[in-house]
Chains A and B, each alone.
Chain A
Amino acid sequence: MTLEEAEQQARALAGAGHVEQAAQVLQQVLAGGNGPAPMWRFLAVLLKHLHRMEDAKAIQDMLVRHFPGDLPMRFDLAETLLLTGDFRRGWREYRWRYSLDHTKAMERRVQRQRWEGEAVPGRTLLVHDEQGYGDTFQFLRLLPETRRRSGARLVLEVNHETLELARRSGLGVDEMLPRGTLPPPFDLHCEMMSLPQALGLRLEDLPGPMPYLLPDPARVAKWRDRLAGLPRPIVALCWAGRPTHHNDANRSMTLADLAPLGMPGVSFITVQKGPAAEQAKAPPPGMAMTPTSDEILDFDDTAAIAQVADLLISVDSSPVHLFGATGGAAWVMLPHLPDWRWLLGRDNTPWYPRHRLFRQPRPGDWPAVVQAMAQALATLRDAA
């Protein structure tokens, strides 16, 4: 079989869900150690899907050593390193996240040096958020340490939707402003997701002081009133992420998929936003549903719900982080190959001590996840 034929065959097999066979085809033709880099790269992806992380990492590492200037390959390696908990090297390679074809235009070109973790007392450091809301909630925890380590006057530029929450929480920040507005003069800058590298963040440093985001007491009171009549436990649901996320098909589901969770003695509300929220108007039979999505005006409502509800059950989306950051509990439904931040082979997460992870036992198997959750939910209900 020629290399081209093997690649075609492997892609067809992988497309039809036969990942194991696809990997075998590639491994056979690549056994001699030669072959084009894109084929090795594809093999590494397949091996990751098969959870053969050490094999995948060895290939990606080899590719990076052979082609140091191929930055997308370095980003591949970064994700695998972080997924397997190698933060030291992982954050270092994560710096190439704006070197991919679809991210190049997103890099923010700041005309000042990047902060590398050094002490810079008396100077002004601008930290700016990037990427999605969930990332921002997750990494805001690093700001107090950034302030302490730099000794700088700390300015935070953050997305509009998170601004009030961040202001209320303080986070050691001297000045906060919404994304896109003019910051005061500053000497150094750092992207929020570059803070782990600058700070040398280790797994054992997590979670740090919890909770680090403070809800609005008035909103908490509002939601206490709103949910007062519902029998406990009250479970908030979120079943779909932002539809424009590159991995959305892999992480999102429908409310109907969650039908087995409906059981006597459990109340459900929704924190789902976007078009998927509509589904709450026709909940699965047997699910005691109070659709609340329309009443959620902003993240302060979600943060308040985290204080009032007993649990969030959610796919990998921003409410998971907001619940965690404000001290709420969540059960997270994860695809077989999850995003790097959830690590592997564990049902808890160092980022949020009250969270519990439910992983697909095999690719695409949401029913097994929901089944396991239904059992756990029944136990929770009975213990209450």
Chain B
Amino acid sequence: MSTSPASPQALQDALSRANQHWNAGQLGPAEQLCQQVLAAWPGQPDALHLLGLMAHGLGNLDLAIQHVRAACQAPRAPALYFSNLAEMCRQRGLLAEAETAGRRAVSMNNALPGAWNNLGIILQERGSYAESRSCLERSLTLHPDNVEVLNNLGNTCLRLGLVAEAERHWQRALALRPGYAQPHSNLAFLLNARGEHDRAAEHAQEAIDIEPRLADAYVNLAAAETARGRHTQALHWLDGLLVFAPGHGIGLAARAMALQALGQPEAALDAARRAVEAAPHSDEARNMLGLCLRDSGRTEPALAAFAEARSLGGPAAPRAALNHATLLAETGRVAEARQALAAALVVHPRVGALWHASLEMQPADAEVVERLDALLAEAEAPQERLVLHFALGKALLELGEDDRGFHHLGAGNALKRATLRYDAGAMAAGLRAAREVPEVPGEADPLPVFILGLPRAGMALVEQVLAAHPSLHGAGALPHVAALAARPEALGAEYLARVRPLAEGRRHVLDRVPLLHAGLLHRALPAARFIHVARDALDLGFACHARLFAEDLPFAYEPGELRAYLTEASALAEHWRASLPAAQWLEVRYEDLVRDLEGQARRMLEFLGLPWHAGCLAFHRRRGRVAGTGAWRLRTPLDAGRIGLGQRYAGHLAALGL
């Protein structure tokens, strides 16, 4: 080792030994030999390349790129150096340089092990999925049993929407190497998308067991928990991820989502801000920040965050575009919302959720139906198919094709139902048990006015009309009652403490609350008033059946279950009406409201002891956001077309048992 590598032979010898030391993990002598070579021949490319590999192995990516870049400057630098430079640049996020180097490598030697694979992942990250796929397939012909290639190919196929093929590649990788964590995590992602959350969780757990620091697996496991309504568990896995990856953008974003689901909006907003700070290029993080800002009433910053997420162009872009357009509509900017959706559909013409939203805001035509049919024929994932079914159902009913429309609504409902876990018996028992109200301390404050009723009965409309009054604050559907119901003894005081700051001097705060808790609310807040909104049963049944809810309403997707729920819940509403003091309970019929807005508005204000305010009639021009499924319709004046749809479809509804 002491011979000075001055002669070409000695130099070759030193380089060969340096390589062998490197292979054996003996970095000291490997580096020493490289430095000797470079002393004798400054810029010697093989020595530089090896130093680059060493720096990479020790985690110094910038130094590694610097060395390998310099090695590639040599006229006779081999394809391998370009291929390694490509991969290092990819890891550093230098995708343009990575692509150039990767292409150079395969053009110099099209049989180099790993070169097609490296180029394939780079193209995947650049969004050139079709070419990525052909590179990875080419790599696979050179190394048919290479599990890393199979894993990458699966990822590219998934992005191309080729779900079954992706799954096949991952399964094959696992058959070849069962202890390979990555395909387990990828399968978890796929199974989540398909609604198979139990199996998704199993695969994610397996991945973590094999490789406890595989970040994606934690995100996928948390997603499986969230989808199963286990938000605390989801939060827990995300905390586990952040223990070793404190700046993980998607993990932080998912954490914000879990906090939001747990009814901690301020903590969620804080988490989302941290996510964007830690991962400024993450579309998921920006989209999440948008959602948190939106839910804390900061509309303009929320719109900006959605727009930024949309323009980052990652997997969250279509969702961000949808959130952007929906928020525009919900805050009364319906024309802008339509434009935004149209623009989003140009960029993402295959995203069913965008078509679905677009049909909410403008009339259907035959062309739309044709496009949706074509999309449905190609779509594989049930989550994607069910959205298309609902969109088609709505469009076809509008165009008078009732049979086809109901066929699609039925298919959409069935697919949605298959993604849910719902115990109808437990729900019915819960609704009945709610009549037994526990003794709790009462806080006699008239501040809260609770609006309740069956889903789609028109509670948001009632809130909108009333919220236009200067003495009333419309708070939307606050999460507090559902969250505090578990601690009924603290409900009254705690609820008032949370809601009082919203009033800002106004006399009442309007809150849309679950029907289930009316009895308890009356005990805990004995001075509160209730407005119950009722609607024609047939219209209600149709409205629920035709609707893909944004909210979590698991009973709504199977006609028998829906009917049972509506019957049971109506009985509970009747029970509350009969047992709560008449002076504090007002019945409002949706049909009356639509036919005679002013008369009903006057009636409600009278019930609340407030003077008349003409602005209530112009509720749709009110500033601020109206949230909830289809709430953008509250941005248009009422028309009688909203009444009697149940009669029109009576035959189809009867066939469904609704």
- B29 at the binding interface (Cβ < 8 Å): yes
Q: Is the CB of B25 within 8 A of A182?
A: no
- A108 at the binding interface (Cβ < 8 Å): yes
Complex CA gap A180/B17 in Å reads: 12
Q: Is the CB of A71 within 8 A of B20?
A: no
**Residue of A69, A108, A112, A183 ringed by the most chain B CB atoms within 10 A:** A69
Q: Is the CB of A68 within 8 A of B240?
A: yes
Residues from chain A with a CB closer than 8 A to the CB of B240 are 66-70
Complex CA gap A157/B57 in Å reads: 22
Residues from chain A with a CB closer than 8 A to the CB of B213 are 69, 71
Chain B: minimal CB distance from A122 (Å): 19
Q: Is the CB of B21 within 8 A of A182?
A: yes
B13-35 residues with Cβ-Cβ distance < 8 A to A are 17, 20-29
Complex CA gap A180/B57 in Å reads: 18
Q: Is the CB of A71 within 8 A of B212?
A: yes
Chain A: minimal CB distance from B30 (Å): 10
- B244 at the binding interface (Cβ < 8 Å): yes
Q: Is the CB of B24 within 8 A of A68?
A: no
Q: Using an 8 Å CB-CB cutoff, how does the interface string of A105-133 with B read, 1 for contact, 0 for none?
A: 00011111000000000000010100000
Complex CA gap A180/B27 in Å reads: 9
Residues from chain A with a CB closer than 8 A to the CB of B79 are none
Chain A: minimal CB distance from B488 (Å): 22
Q: A180-B28, A182-B29 are contacts. A111–B208 as well, Cβ < 8 Å?
A: no
Q: Which of B25, B28, B218, B239 has a CB less than 8 Å from the CB of A110?
A: B25
Residues from chain A with a CB closer than 8 A to the CB of B243 are 37, 67, 69-70
Q: Which of A69, A128, A182, A185 has a CB less than 8 Å from the CB of B218?
A: A69
Chain B: minimal CB distance from A117 (Å): 12
A87-146 residues with Cβ-Cβ distance < 8 A to B are 108-112, 126, 128
Complex CA gap A135/B96 in Å reads: 49
B231-251 residues with Cβ-Cβ distance < 8 A to A are 236, 239-241, 243-245
- B209 at the binding interface (Cβ < 8 Å): yes
Q: Is the CB of A69 within 8 A of B24?
A: no
Q: Is the CB of A70 within 8 A of B22?
A: no
Chain B: minimal CB distance from A115 (Å): 14
Residues from chain B with a CB closer than 8 A to the CB of A340 are none
Chain A: minimal CB distance from B5 (Å): 15
Q: Which of A69, A108, A128, A180 has a CB less than 8 Å from the CB of B241?
A: A69
Q: Is the CB of B212 within 8 A of A186?
A: no
Chain B: minimal CB distance from A155 (Å): 10
Q: Is the CB of A110 within 8 A of B24?
A: yes
Residues from chain B with a CB closer than 8 A to the CB of A69 are 208, 212-213, 218, 240-241, 243-245
For chain A, the bracket of interface size reads 20 to 34
Say whether chain A's binding surface is mostly helix, strand, loop, or mixed: loop
Q: Is the CB of B212 within 8 A of A74?
A: yes
Complex CA gap A66/B221 in Å reads: 13
**Residue of B25, B239, B241 ringed by the most chain A CB atoms within 10 A:** B25
Q: Is the CB of A111 within 8 A of B244?
A: no
Complex CA gap A201/B584 in Å reads: 75
Chain A's closest residue to B241 (CB) is: A69
Complex CA gap A69/B24 in Å reads: 28
Residues from chain A with a CB closer than 8 A to the CB of B17 are 182
Residues from chain A with a CB closer than 8 A to the CB of B241 are 69
Q: A68-B240, A109-B57 are contacts. A183–B24 as well, Cβ < 8 Å?
A: yes
A-B contact count (CB 8 A): 58
Q: Is the CB of A70 within 8 A of B236?
A: no
Q: A69-B241, A69-B243 are contacts. A111–B212 as well, Cβ < 8 Å?
A: no
Complex CA gap A189/B218 in Å reads: 30
Q: Is the CB of A182 within 8 A of B208?
A: no
Complex CA gap A183/B23 in Å reads: 10
Q: Is the CB of A182 within 8 A of B212?
A: no
Q: Using an 8 Å CB-CB cutoff, how does the interface string of A145-179 with B read, 1 for contact, 0 for none?
A: 00000000000010000000000000000000000
Q: Using an 8 Å CB-CB cutoff, how does the interface string of B245-263 with A read, 1 for contact, 0 for none?
A: 1000000000000000000
Complex CA gap A108/B57 in Å reads: 10
Chain B: minimal CB distance from A150 (Å): 18
Residues from chain B with a CB closer than 8 A to the CB of A67 are 239-240, 243
Q: Which of B20, B26, B58, B244 has a CB less than 8 Å from the CB of A180?
A: B26
Q: Is the CB of A186 within 8 A of B24?
A: yes
Residues from chain A with a CB closer than 8 A to the CB of B23 are 110-112
**Residue of B20, B27, B236 ringed by the most chain A CB atoms within 10 A:** B20
Residues from chain B with a CB closer than 8 A to the CB of A66 are 236, 240
Complex CA gap A234/B270 in Å reads: 72
Complex CA gap A68/B240 in Å reads: 7
Chain A's closest residue to B30 (CB) is: A182
Q: Which of A70, A110, A183 has a CB less than 8 Å from the CB of B244?
A: A70
Residues from chain A with a CB closer than 8 A to the CB of B209 are 68
Chain A: minimal CB distance from B250 (Å): 15
Chain B: minimal CB distance from A328 (Å): 34
Chain A: minimal CB distance from B146 (Å): 13
Q: Is the CB of A182 within 8 A of B236?
A: no
Residues from chain B with a CB closer than 8 A to the CB of A37 are 243
Q: Is the CB of B218 within 8 A of A126?
A: no
**Residue of B212, B213, B241 ringed by the most chain A CB atoms within 10 A:** B212
Chain A's closest residue to B208 (CB) is: A68
Q: Which of A71, A109, A112 has a CB less than 8 Å from the CB of B27?
A: A109
Complex CA gap A126/B25 in Å reads: 11
Q: Using an 8 Å CB-CB cutoff, how does the interface string of A357-375 with B read, 1 for contact, 0 for none?
A: 0000000000000000000
Complex CA gap A43/B28 in Å reads: 40
Chain A's closest residue to B22 (CB) is: A111
Q: Is the CB of B26 within 8 A of A182?
A: yes
Chain B: minimal CB distance from A121 (Å): 20
Chain A's closest residue to B239 (CB) is: A67
A185-217 residues with Cβ-Cβ distance < 8 A to B are 185-186, 189
Chain A: minimal CB distance from B55 (Å): 12
Chain B: minimal CB distance from A163 (Å): 16
Complex CA gap A108/B243 in Å reads: 25
Chain A's closest residue to B244 (CB) is: A69
Q: Using an 8 Å CB-CB cutoff, how does the interface string of B185-220 with A read, 1 for contact, 0 for none?
A: 000000000000000000000001100110000100
Chain B: minimal CB distance from A105 (Å): 9
Chain B: minimal CB distance from A374 (Å): 48
Complex CA gap A189/B212 in Å reads: 22
Q: Is the CB of A111 within 8 A of B29?
A: no
Residues from chain A with a CB closer than 8 A to the CB of B27 are 109
Q: Is the CB of B25 within 8 A of A109?
A: yes
Residues from chain A with a CB closer than 8 A to the CB of B22 are 111
Q: Is the CB of A185 within 8 A of B20?
A: yes
Residues from chain B with a CB closer than 8 A to the CB of A108 are 25
Chain B: minimal CB distance from A187 (Å): 11
Chain B's closest residue to A182 (CB) is: B20
Chain B: minimal CB distance from A76 (Å): 14
Residues from chain B with a CB closer than 8 A to the CB of A182 are 17, 20-21, 24, 26, 29
Chain B: minimal CB distance from A342 (Å): 28
Q: Is the CB of B25 within 8 A of A111?
A: yes
Complex CA gap A189/B26 in Å reads: 13
Residues from chain B with a CB closer than 8 A to the CB of A183 are 20, 24
Residues from chain A with a CB closer than 8 A to the CB of B24 are 110-111, 126, 157, 182-183, 186, 189
Task: Give me the 3 closest cross-chain CB pairs, A-B, nearest first.
Answer: A110-B25, A108-B25, A69-B244
| Additional A-B contact list (14), CB under 8 Å, known A69-B245, A180-B26 | A66-B236, A69-B208, A69-B212, A70-B244, A74-B212, A108-B25, A109-B27, A109-B57, A111-B25, A128-B25, A180-B29, A182-B20, A186-B24, A189-B25
Task: Provide 25 A-B residue pairs closer than 8 Å at the C-beta atoms, listed in order of the A residue.
Answer: A67-B240, A68-B208, A68-B240, A69-B212, A69-B218, A69-B241, A69-B244, A70-B243, A70-B244, A71-B212, A71-B213, A71-B244, A74-B212, A110-B24, A111-B22, A128-B25, A157-B24, A180-B26, A180-B28, A180-B29, A182-B17, A182-B26, A183-B20, A185-B20, A186-B24
